[in-house]
Copies of this chain bind each other. A is one copy, B any other.
Amino acid sequence: MAETAPATGKAGNQYRIESLAKGLSILRLFDENAVSLKLREICDRTGIPMPTAFRIVSTLEEGGFLDRTADGSFRPGVSVLTLGSAALRGSSLVQVSEKILADLAAATGETVNLGVLLGDQVLYLARLRNADLVTANVQVGSTLPAVYTSMGKLLLATLTPQEVSERIGPDAFSVHGGPNAVRNREELDARLAVIRQQGYAIQDQELALGLRSVSVPVYGNAPAAVAAINIAVSASRHTVESLRGPLLAQLRAAAADITVRLRAL
C-alpha cells in the first residue's frame, strides 16, 4: 500500500523525531491484511536494523500499541481501538453523515458505505450493511484496493493523472480482483474518463463475483471531493441498470444532504 505520509527518509519536517517516526512507520505496517508480523518481517519491510527494531517494538509493546503473540510475532493491541474511536467521533464527516446514511440504508434496504482515499486504498469510515448473505467482508477501518471499488475509482477520477500515478503503481493491479476488474493503468484511465463524465461510478463485479455498487462524491468547502458514499448490492438482486435508477437518485439526494451540512459547519 502506498504511504500517504512517509515518516522516514524524506527531508521536509525539520522538527521530526526520527525514533518516533520509525515507531509510527512500524505501526503503519499493520492493516487487516497484515494483522501480525515477526520482528524479522518488520525489519525487512522497514529497513530498520534488528537491534533498533527490537527496541522500538519493545517500547510499542510496553505502551500497549503492540501485543506479542504466543509464537513471538507482534500484532496491534486492541487498546488502539480507542484511538480509532476518537478519530471517528472527532470526524465531522462521520458525525454529519451518520443519520443520513442510516436513513438511506433504511429507505433502500441496501448496504450503504462511506469511504475516503488512503494511498491506493479506500478506507471505510462508515458501513451500514443489510442482511444479504453475499457481501464484501468489510467493516469500519477496512481498506480495499481503490482501483476495484466504485468509491475508489470515483475519488481517483477527481485527481489529476499525475496524482493518480503517485498513488497507483503497477502493483495496484496485481491483487486478486473480480471477473471485471481493471488490469492496468490504461483500462483504469478509460473508466475514470467515463466516471468524470457521468459524475458517478459503477462497479460491476470488479471487486468480487456477485457484488455491484454505485458511488457518488460528497463535498465540503474545498472544490475537491472529501469522500464518497455508495450503495452496495448483491448482483443476484440488482442489474447495473437498476443501480442507475432510483438507487442512484436516492444516493445523490443523500450526498447532497451531507454536502449541505458539511458546508454549514
Contacts and interface: CB of A to CB of B under 8 A. Distances in A.
Nearest to A93: B78
Interface stretch (A11-19, A198-206, A244-252): A11-19
Contacts of A180: none
Interface in A4-34: 4-5, 7, 12-13, 15-17, 19-25, 27-28, 30-32, 34
Contacts of A36: 90
A264 B135 CA distance: 29
Given A25-B63, A54-B15, A139-B88, A79 B35 contact: no
Given A27-B83, A86-B31, A56 B17 contact: yes
A260 B207 CA distance: 35
Interface string A144-175: 00000000000000000000000000000000
9 contacts: A15-B58, A17-B59, A20-B59, A20-B60, A81-B140, A81-B141, A82-B143, A85-B142, A140-B140
